[in-house]
Amino acid sequence: MNNFNKWNQEFRAQNLYAFNHNENALLWLKVRAVCRGKQIKQFTAKNHMTLQSTKLADQNAELFQILESLPDGMKMLDQFLLDRNNELYVQKGVDEAQLKNDLYNVKYYAWGGDQDNSLDQYLVRRYIKAISKYDELTARKDEIAGNAWNFVQTSWYNNWTSFLIESIFKKHKRVLSAVGEIKSVDFFIGDFPIDLKVTYFPNEYMDSKLKEKLGHSEITWLKQQAKAKGIEVDKSLSDSQKMYMLKEKIKEIGDTEILEKLKRIRKEIINEAQNDKETLMQWLYEHQSPRLFGAENRLFVILVDTIQMDDSWKMKRAFPLIEPKVNQYLDNFTETSLKHIKFAFNKNLYESLSDIIFVIKE
C-alpha cells in the first residue's frame, strides 16, 4: 500500500490522532487542503508541474506522490496555503467590513426548526405529515413562512460569524489556511491540523453541574424557592415557560437573592471549567451530534455572556472581544498547548488533541 492510500484509510476511519507528529501524514493533509480542481491547477502552474491524471481524485494521489519525493515539497505547499488569495471565500470577494455591520441587523436568535435537523425534515414532521386538512395548512402558512425565515436568518448569522472568526485565525502569521475547505481541517497552527468549533457554553453541561451544586435540577430548585415565597406556577406549561414565569414572578416580589444565587453558581461553574478545560473538552467530544461526529484535533472558542447568558449568541459578532483573545492565544501557542484527550463515542475509543479559548463578557 502506498502512503497516499495509507493516510486516506486512516482519515476515513477517523483515526485522526495518527496525523499528529508525522510529517508524511501532515503532507497528505496539506495536499488535501488544495484538493479542489481550480486550486490544484493554480498550485501546479505556480510550481511548474504537470499532472498526467485527469480525474480529481487521481490528481490528489499523483500530486502527493510527487511532493513526498521532493525535499521542498512541504515548503511549496506551505507557501500556497499561506496566500489567503487562494481561499474560496476570498476569491468570491466577501466584503468583511460590510458583513460585520450587516450582522447587527439580526435582532433575535431563533431556530425555525430543530437546530440538529434540516429545515425540510422539520417542515415534513411539523406540517406535512401532521396536518391532513388543506384549510388548516393554509391557515398556518404565515407560521410556516416565519419558521423558514428564522431558520435561514439564524443559519446565515452562524455561517458568517463563524467565517469571520475563522478569518481572525487565518490572518495570524503562525496559521496556514486549509484553503480547499476539507473536512476536519480548517487551518494548521504550526504542524497541528485544527478543526475550529465556535460555540456557547453548553446548556447540558451547565445543567448537570447546577444539579450537582443545587441538589436538584435548576427548575426543581427554583420551584422550591418560589413555593417558599408563596409563588405557584401553571403545571400545564412547558419547562422553559415555567422557568420564565418563575423568574418573572420572583423579580416582581423584589427577592433578588434567589436569582443572584443562580447567577453566582453559573459563574462558578464557568470558572471551574476554565481551570479544568480537559473535563469540558472530553464532554464536548462525547456529546457531539452523531450526524456530525469527528475525532479530529479541535480548538473550541466558547463564548459566554455571564451578565445575560441568553444573550451569548450576540457574542459571535463581538469581534473587539474575540480578536485579542485569539491573537493572544496564537502568539503564545506552543507544542504543549493542545491537550491529549481520550474519549468514547458509540462504544468506540478515540484520541485527539484539543484546547479551549474562552471569550467571556462580565
pLDDT digits (tens, 9 = 90+) for 69-113: 999 999 999 999 988 777 766 767 889 999 999 999 999 998 877
pLDDT digits (tens, 9 = 90+) for 112-167: 776 666 788 889 988 999 999 999 999 999 999 998 999 999 999 999 999 999 99
Determine what percent of the chain is predicted with pLDDT higher than 90: 73
Which cell goes with 253?
A: 416580589
From residue 98, give the alpha-carbon distance in Å to each of 3, 94, 106, 150, 171.
Answer: 45, 9, 14, 22, 18
Q: Which residues contact 198 (CB under 8 A, 6 or more apart)?
A: 161, 162, 165, 166, 300, 301, 303, 316
pLDDT of res. 114: 67
Residue corresponding to grid cell 468514547: 344
**Alpha-carbon span 243 to 246, nearest angstrom:** 5
Residue 299 has pLDDT above 70, yes or no: yes
Question: Side chain identity at 200, as an amino acid letter?
Answer: Y
Q: What is the mean pLDDT of the chain?
A: 92
SS3 at position 318 = coil
Residue 270, classified by CB atoms within 10 Å of its CB into exposed (0-12), middle (13-18) or buried (19+), is buried
pLDDT of res. 55: 92
Residue 39 has pLDDT above 90, yes or no: no
pLDDT of res. 174: 94
The b-or-e profile of 105-119 (16+ CB within 10 A means b, else e) is ebeebebbbeeeeeb
**Alpha-carbon span 155 to 148, nearest angstrom:** 11
Its pTM stands at 0.90
Running DSSP on this structure, what letter comes out for residue 93? T
Answer yes or no: are the C-beta atoms of 329 and 196 closer than 8 Å.
Answer: no
The residues spanned by each domain of the chain are 3-82, 108-156, 162-171+193-206+268-361, 215-261
* Other residues' Cβ atoms within 10 Å of the Cβ of residue 205: 16
Nearest Cα to Cα of residue 182 among 30, 6, 360 = 30
Residues in the chain: 362
Give the lowest-confidence range in 54-63, 197-206, 230-239, 283-292: 230-239
**Alpha-carbon span 324 to 155, nearest angstrom:** 26
For the packed helices 277-286 and 256-275, what is the interaxial angle rounded to 10 degrees?
90
**Alpha-carbon span 46 to 179, nearest angstrom:** 16
Model confidence at 38, pLDDT cuts 50, 70, 90, reads confident
Q: Name the E strands within 125-200.
A: 175-177, 187-189, 192-200
Residue 285 has pLDDT above 90, yes or no: yes
pLDDT of res. 340: 97
pLDDT of res. 1: 61
pLDDT of res. 168: 95
Q: How many Å is the maximal CA-CA distance in the chain?
A: 80
pLDDT of res. 352: 96
